[in-house]
Structure 1
Amino acid sequence: MKKREIAVFGGAHIDRRGRISGVTAPGASNPGSWFEEAGGGGFNAARNLARIGHSVRMISPRGGDAAGEMVAAAAAAAGVIDCPFTFLDRKTPSYTAILENDGNLVIALADMELYQLFSPRRLQQRAIREILAVSDLVLMDANLPEETLVALVNAASGDGRLVAGIAVSPAKVMRFRKCLSGLSFLFMNEAEARALTGIDASDAKNWPTLLREAGLRGGVVTRGGAAAVAFDRGEASVIFPPALPALADVTGAGDALASGFLTARLSGFDLAGCLRHGIAAAGIALRSPFAVSEEMSRGNLEQAIALVPAPQMLS
């Protein structure tokens, strides 16, 4: 696979995760453990893409605090070229989640006000325009304001460039509504797909039609351990992820899937091949206690693909 130039815009902040030790008791104190690391949908994807071997630039707002320094250190460790907009008098955004013992999410709180300062005007800066001009892929997440996402899609479109988005959450995915037609692919889970369409599909096979009708050219819908579906303008593909003996942590699995999928797309793979790469990358992430697995690499990704079953193509 050829090394590509990639620009990622979106969340790069602090993830705090508390994991309950036993059976979850709602409305009560639960014994557990606490863990903190750098995270964010865009940043997780950026680090995965860099570990796979691409040249990746991360553009995101950041505070002038210790948390911001932690994000910068994580970027350096993964080989990401860090290009922050730093607000010295502000705090770096954070995401705090409580997980059940099996790794599934109970509830989360997102303190993301700083991202609202990333206005479309930032995209007019010469340095940003130069980054966009040389990028083979522009990836963004829905932590950014709606008007900024629209402006970024418009600025990145053309020249055969891939333009992709990460939904982040059911509430935030709605920020992509006005620019769906400009995205090559949008990565989302089933709850985010329901929010975008206003429809609860009974079968994974229904999502391509529903999302195309909403204006989306291509996308991937994940459904936990159930079948994942990918589509573009011409075809659709479904794959059942291989069963894993245990989940270390579900955090970052969708971002890893986007990274593997887009890596394959940049290398010319067909839709089914891209989805297999994405599911293989998600499997690597799910076996790690971190949002970005230290085992993520081009070689390990190629090996993991052998564990992914053949796809089912949809008419």
Structure 2
Amino acid sequence: MNDTHRVLVLGGAHIDRRGRIFGETIPGASNPGHFIVEPGGGGFNAARNLGLLDVPVRMIAPRGGDADGETVAEAAAACGVDDHPFVFLDRQTPSYTAILSHDGNLVVALADMELYQAFSPRRLQVRAVRDAVAGTDWMLCDANLPELTIAAIAALARDLSKPLAAIAISPAKVVRLKGSLSLFNHIFMNEAEAQALCGERPDNAEAWPELLRDAGLRSGVITRGSKPVVAFDESGAFTLAPPPLERLVDVTGAGDALAAGTLSGLLDGLPLAEALRRGIALAAITLSSPHAVAPEVNRARLETMVGLVAQACHLA
């Protein structure tokens, strides 16, 4: 087995079930709509996007010995992801079931993620995992994993001098990153997740960098829907406006795509402000697709979309 790859992803790889309501949402009633069932998970969505961009990427995640697990494996292969799961033959593959309004925004969701608790810190001591970490340029994890495991991943990355990024997943889960904030090179989050880390939300979005730095984070990207993204690192802080969309189809996977696109830029040696233009462009492609990972993603399509993303506006 060749243990050389550019990105190692440790996190969620499961089944997404998304129902979209056709008309106005009526709480407490039966709403006509339709379901899409496909593989998902923050880490897995990012890994598949990286694979479609021809970035050598390996994914390690828990998985059940069921048909859903086989579907996840097939999706990994289709996108060029080097898939190395921990398979539990007697368990179900995790799943995420979401109900979306007619305009693509989340109404409510149910996450059946208990199997991720089986990704304990001791799994990182397996020889194959340690070899995978040693053979990678970048590590990416998501907050689907247990807090102790995330802390162990961060410590391992530090000890082996591997840059590490994280996807926040949700306000409830991002707090699992709190104990290791100073060890992450970048965290990708939205404003609700940033508030969960800081304990407050500023009146002015440009204050996010100061609040997150005070919490211990060196670099972060805060998405704000259609409003400008706020980002910062050791060199400074800036905002970046996403390009206008003709139609928003589905928000699922957009944040994961942003993380993947940005990471691809960082791998190519771009500064964060330029790398994030790739991330925003990839998120825009995803927002215009009914899928969490747009199957039409490739390098050429991404570069075309990057041309529509304005340059960063640096903050004082």
Pair in the same fold by TM > 0.5: yes
> Aligned with 2:141: secondary structure?
strand
Does the aligned pair in 1 maintain the 2:5–2:58 contact within 8 Å?
no
Distance in 2, matches of 1:193 and 1:58, equals 26
- TM-superposed CA distance for 1:139, in Å, is 0.2
Structure 1 stretches of 4+ with a deviation exceeding 6 A read: none
Structure 2 match to 1:295: 296
For residues 229 and 274 of structure 1, the distance between their equivalents in structure 2, rounded to whole angstroms, comes to: 13
Q: Superposition pairs for residues 85-96 of structure 1, below 5 Å?
A: 85-96=86-97
**Contact 1:237-1:271 at 8 Å conserved across structures:** no
Q: Secondary structure at the match of 1:171?
A: helix
Match of 2:192 in 1: 191
Aligned to 2:156: 155
Cα distance between partner residues in 1 of 2:203 and 2:285: 28
Q: Which amino acid aligns with 1:136?
A: D
2:72 partner amino acid: V
Summarize the alignment of residues 57-76 of structure 1 with structure 2, pairs less than 5 Å apart. Answer: 57-76=58-77
Q: Output aligned runs, 1:252-271, within 5 Å.
A: 252-271=253-272
Of stretches 198-207 and 246-255 in structure 1, the one that deviates more from structure 2 is: 198-207
- Per the alignment, in what secondary structure is the counterpart of residue 171 of structure 2? coil
| Equivalent position of 1:229 in the other structure | 230
Q: Residues 55 and 80 of structure 1 are in contact (CA less than 8 Å); yes or no, is this contact kept in structure 2?
A: yes
The reply to whether residue 83 of structure 1 matches residue 84 of structure 2 is yes
- Give yes or no for the alignment of 1:174 onto 2:187: no
Q: Which TM-score applies when normalising by structure 2?
A: 0.97
Query: Which residue in the other structure is 2:115 paired with?
Result: 114
Structure 1: which amino acid aligns with 2:304? Q
Secondary structure, counterpart of 1:277 in structure 2 = helix
1:208-247 matched pairs, under 5 angstroms: 208-247=209-248
AA of the residue aligned to 2:58 = R
Measure, in 2, the Cα distance between the counterparts of 1:199 and 1:25: 31
Q: For each residue in 1:91-142, what CA deviation from the matched residue of structure 2 results, as whole angstroms up to 9, or x when unmatched? A: 0000000000111000100000000011000000110011000111100000
Amino acid at match of 1:150: A
Quick check: 90-99 or 22-31, which moved more? 22-31
Name the structure 1 match of 2:129: 128
Query: Does the CA-based 8 Å contact 2:140-2:164 persist in structure 1?
Result: yes
Letter in 2 for 1:143: N
- Following superposition, the deviation at residue 237 of structure 1 comes to 1.4
8 Å contact 1:229–1:237 — kept in the other structure?
yes
Q: Provide, for residues 18-66 of structure 1, a one-character-per-residue CA deviation record: whole Å limited to 9, x for no partner.
A: 0000111111111000110000000000000111111111100000001
Match of 1:187, SS? strand
Amino acid across the alignment from 1:137? W
Query: Unpaired segments of 5 or more residues in structure 1?
Result: none
Cα deviation code 1:153-172 (max 9, x no counterpart): 11122565320000000000
Q: What residue is the counterpart of 2:7 in the other structure?
A: 6
1:273 aligns with 2:263: no
Cα distance per residue 1:287-313 (max 9 Å; x no partner): 111000112111111111111112110
C-alpha deviation, 1:269, in angstroms = 1.0
Indicate the RMSD between aligned Cα atoms, in angstroms: 1.2
Contiguous gaps of at least 5 residues in structure 2:
none
Q: Please state whether the residue corresponding to 1:310 is helix, strand or coil.
A: coil
